[in-house]
Structure 1
């Protein structure tokens, strides 16, 4: 028997135990390295998913003032000040998935949905104000990437701002209309919205009337429904199968979807299910465009964590008060002074 094969207490050569421990250690180390590599790749992938636009540099200082944030007495690593975010749903048909969901080709893109999300100080309550896309507004001159500027337009449809000048012009038009500084910008396209709903396992909604819209391909009886991503997108876009066929009926459905999504996010157990969390994060970031203040996974996660106390029952949804436009019965204009009072309350 050699020196390395001396018998241990259990009658086995003691030289084999260090080799076994070494194998276990190498296995654990390899698993750790693979786990870190996988986490790093996931972070890199999600971070690269996000597209962004430098709105602050493009608009400069000719904007409404930022809200004055008073520091909380209880210091928190997360932001707690009030915040205004312009959230747009784009009807862009770029990419095969968007063309399929949007119903074929269409030149350019418009803001199919526009919501100003105001987060109260403390981030425990929110007000979501929808701006009808058919609202006639004064569209200001907007800077373009080429260095030129768009011509101002009076009595222009609200959603034309995005069509002529992209996110920068959409933000400038909203700030001109409301007098409220948009701290951030979020835009999601057709496929991104549908993928988010599917990643969450669908959403639950209740409709008060039958919806029969051949254009959005949505046919629902009044009552409660569990919708997948494609159906939820159709609900967000339908207008001809509900109410008077105007954008105002559709807004009510969109606001219902916002609350349904928030309720689903709150109850999805994302923090205890890493696989689902990654699936949802991948769906969100893949169809997302933000301003440069939210264009990293760290910044989005920080925003999301700051909203951990915000539940669906603490979200108030309203529509900017409007009346029929005097010159066009198919368009609306802001109803003053009610609209101005609403925006002043957010300021």
Structure 2
């Protein structure tokens, strides 16, 4: 970039225009350098965030043996942004791999389980949503799942729901949920321990009100009943606690997890991310750094488009429920879907 300004030489010796041109040229080159540096930094940020995301080709692995996709209305198909209904399986993984996860989760560094499972149904128009939690203690029929080696697993009856992820990863988790619900999962999102904690910290913590004291040595959480601003470590502990509340089952924990989801949505919506590039990057890095998606959401562009399509969805219009369950006849410490209520709930999400 060259900036040249021709002005009258009041000195009469012809030196002033030359000096001005040199100064302005230097300024122009400096500005050009800053611009190039900015573009380069933006390019690196995009590359970094894009390469943070891990993905699994679930559609390719499962093929056509799945529930049908929802048919979008003509108005949804004509919208500049996607506006049709969506069903997204969201899993919280208790993976201990990596130093950050090990410090937060402890325990064995091998393997992982789906510690939290939620089916997020977004209504057509994307102004309202329903989040359905599936207790991990639910006994299900786990279908035959493809394995990375090219084989298949055997069908298992009356097995723990979260065994699907342990055995066959995201592909088997999606197939098991679709078998249980009869609902097609349009997308898959998984975030691990450290990613959730980093996200909560990036948005400044979450405010949650507990109705009873929580005293759980296993999750390292000790809270008096009341309202608390929780950092990432304590929010994760709240999401995982089960022995310090209620009867110690997974059902009591689900209520806390649903409170956390709404609190996190409210905090994100109240945080001026667009006016703070540093905070926006911190949030984006926290999310993408611990995220696994299906191949339909495995780029920053696709995630951004999804986020833009949800701009009119507020936390006040997110309903949280749990899949209706009853105690399993075979095991008092396990549950099974309560029918016909569970079937009616899933049918409402198609």
Is this a same-fold pair by TM over 0.5? Answer: yes
Distance 1:146 1:61 in 2: 20
Equivalent residues in 2 for 1:181-330 (5 A)? 181-330=184-333
Specify which of 57, 74, 77 is matched with residue 71 of structure 1. Answer: 74
Deviation at 1:78, TM superposition (A): 1.3
TM-score by length of 2: 0.96
Distance 1:10 1:133 in 2: 85
Unaligned runs of 5+ in 1: 1-5
Deviation at 1:19, TM superposition (A): 1.0
1:13 is paired with a residue whose SS is helix
In structure 2, the residue matched to 1:113 is 116
Unaligned runs of 5+ in 2: 1-6
- 1:50-88 deviations in Å (ceiling 9; x for gaps): 000000000000000000001327943211110000000
2:324–2:338 CA contact under 8 A, matched in 1: yes
| Cα RMSD (Å) | 1.4
Deviation at 1:271, TM superposition (A): 1.2
- 1:116-167 deviations in Å (ceiling 9; x for gaps): 0000011110000000000000000000110000111000000000000000
Distance 2:329 2:109 in 1: 30
Deviation at 1:105, TM superposition (A): 2.1
Specify which of 34, 37, 41 is matched with residue 31 of structure 1. Answer: 34
2:137–2:160 CA contact under 8 A, matched in 1: yes
Distance 1:53 1:244 in 2: 37
Structure 1 position 346 matched with structure 2 position 325: no
Name which of structure 1's ranges 72-81 and 175-184 shifts more when overlaid on structure 2.
72-81
Deviation at 1:273, TM superposition (A): 1.1
In structure 2, the residue matched to 1:8 is 9
- Count of residue pairs the alignment pairs up: 342
Deviation at 1:35, TM superposition (A): 0.2
2:242–2:249 CA contact under 8 A, matched in 1: yes
In structure 2, the residue matched to 1:3 is none
Name which of structure 1's ranges 99-108 and 20-29 shifts more when overlaid on structure 2.
99-108
Question: Relative to structure 1, is the Cα distance of residues 73 and 205 closer, same or farther in structure 2, using a 3 angstrom cutoff?
Answer: closer
In structure 2, the residue matched to 1:127 is 130
Distance 2:11 2:93 in 1: 71
Distance 1:138 1:13 in 2: 86
